[in-house]
Each structure stands twice: as structure tokens, then as C-alpha cells.
Amino acid sequence: MVFWEGYVSDEVMGTFAPIVVYWLYAGIFQLLPPLDNYRLHTRKEEDAKNSVPLGSVVKGVLLQQVVQAAVAHLLFLVTSETGLVGTEIQPSVLIQVVQIIIAMFVMDTWQYFVHRYMHMNKFLYRHIHSQHHKLVVPYAIGALYNHPLEGLLLDTVGGAISFLISGMTARTAVIFFCFAVVKTVDDHCGLWLPGNLFHLFFQNNTAYHDIHHQLHGLKYNFSQPFFPIWDKLLGTHMPYDLIKRPEGGFEARLSKD
């Protein structure tokens, strides 16, 4: 039993809930005070290094989400037999957990190799992936600021493949896609907040991905959004030390080990 049962279908929730969750979670970060003591980059760095205004970032994210919603709608239309407020038999909680774990590894695998190729191929990086790296200092709302083609191939198709291979139902997909969105936004938030559970349970976190956004880390730490497994297996893992800055905040520096 879920709170939307009887009101909208799992397919509708799977299409639109991740978008709503994205703006709610990213919006929380946007509304926070400066929190200079927890930033990985100073506000001065953010203003100086980022080459795209917030308005353009918002438009880019919304465009990706329109495409994402269209693909999700078609995916659920093909794979589901439920109606507007219909339901289907759900597997046990254990099976759903296993399906989510499978989906996490599938998404990580897809995103690692596509992401890495977009860095290694000069044409793709220059004309497509470099748009995301215009945000040298990442922030939450810019988590899905991508070239439309990259948004389709990396995120939307990656999500669809994860859904299909894992065999999850639309209801389980709501949980998985919303979790993936929250994790992606958190990885780009630029803040090292105390008690952040993602920082405690995931090595692939805000500081890990921040390294990748810097010039010295462009060809490292490709793994996203969950685990650094492929980076470690294929030699693209760049460890870091989190250093407290005298003026406040933190800095993710290359590890000396």
C-alpha cells in the first residue's frame, strides 16, 4: 500500500515523481543560507569559475526532464497493463530490494562507460559533455544540466535499461528513480554537511564527484551515481583528502597515499 494508490497509477508516479523530487530536494539546497563553513568551494570561486547563469541551467534541466517524462511514459505504456489508477501484483519486499540493487549496478555500469567515452572522445566532449562541465563548481540545481543528447543517452536511457534489466514493477521504479535523483542532486550540492547519510554510506559522494569537475580530475572518478567500483577496477579512481580551509569550508585535495 502506497499513499498514491487509488489516486494515480504507479506509472504516472514513476513518470512525474522523480521530477518533483528533483526540484524539491535541489530547491532546499538553493534556499539554504550560504553555509560557508561547509562549502567545498567558496562563493567567489563559484561566481568566477562557472560560465553559465542560473537561468540557463534551469532551462537546460527542464528540457531534459521533458524528454525524460516522455520516454518514461512510453516505457511504462509498453511494459504495464494497468490503467490510470490501476495496480499490479507487487513482489515481496526482499525481491524489490534485490531489484533495486541490480538496477543500481546496471545504472552505474551504463553511466560509467558512456560518461567515460564522452570524456575520451574529443568531439563528444567538446560538443556535448562539456556543457555539464561549464559548472566547474557544482551546485544542486545543476545536477542534471546536460546537453539534451547526453541527458537522453546517459540518464534517460540508462534509467530505462536499469528498469528493464532489473525486472522491477512501476511501483518499485518510483522508489528507485526518486532515490537516484536525490543521490545525484546530493553529489552535486557542493556542501559537506555533518550527518549527511550519503557521505557516510557511499564513497561515491559529493567530494568524490567534485574532484571529477576540477581540471585535474576530468579523466578520473567517472563513476556515478552510486558506487566507485568501475573506477577502481579500471584505473580511473582518484582518491582524495578532505582538508579544512583556514577561512572556512572544505577542499577535496588529491590524496598523497
Residue keyed to cell 512525474: 16
3-state secondary structure of 9: coil
- The CA distance from 103 to 4, in Å, is 23
pLDDT of residue 84: 47
- The CA distance from 149 to 161, in Å, is 17
Would you write out the chain's pLDDT as a tens digit for each of its 257 residues? 899 998 999 999 999 999 999 999 999 999 999 999 999 999 999 999 999 999 999 999 999 999 999 999 999 999 976 544 456 789 999 999 999 999 999 999 999 999 999 999 999 999 999 999 999 999 999 999 999 999 999 999 999 999 999 999 999 999 999 999 999 999 999 999 999 999 999 999 999 999 999 988 999 999 999 999 999 999 999 999 999 998 889 999 888 66
Which residue, among 181, 164, 188, has the nearest Cα to 106 in the 3D structure? Answer: 164
Which residue, among 124, 133, 156, 150, has the nearest Cα to 19 in the 3D structure? Answer: 156
Per-position b or e across 103-141, b if 16+ CB within 10 A of its CB: bbbbbbbbbbebbbebbeeeebbeebbebbbebbbbbbb
pLDDT of residue 1: 82
Residue pair 114/187 in contact by the 8 Å Cβ criterion: no
pLDDT of residue 85: 47
pLDDT of residue 255: 82
Decide: residue 65, CB within 10 A, 0-12 exposed, 13-18 middle, 19+ buried.
buried
- The CA distance from 117 to 136, in Å, is 19
Q: Where are the beta strands (DSSP E) in 6-157?
A: none
Which residue, among 147, 184, 126, has the nearest Cα to 56 in the 3D structure? Answer: 147
- The CA distance from 71 to 241, in Å, is 40
User: From the CB of residue 57, how many other CB atoms can be counted at a distance below 10 Å?
Assistant: 19
pLDDT of residue 145: 98
Decide: residue 19, CB within 10 A, 0-12 exposed, 13-18 middle, 19+ buried.
buried
Residue pair 128/150 in contact by the 8 Å Cβ criterion: yes
- The CA distance from 228 to 224, in Å, is 7
- Taking only Cα atoms into account, the Rg of the chain, rounded to an integer number of angstroms, comes to 18
Taking each helix axis from N to C terminus, what angle separates 157-166 and 93-120, rounded to the nearest 10 degrees? 150
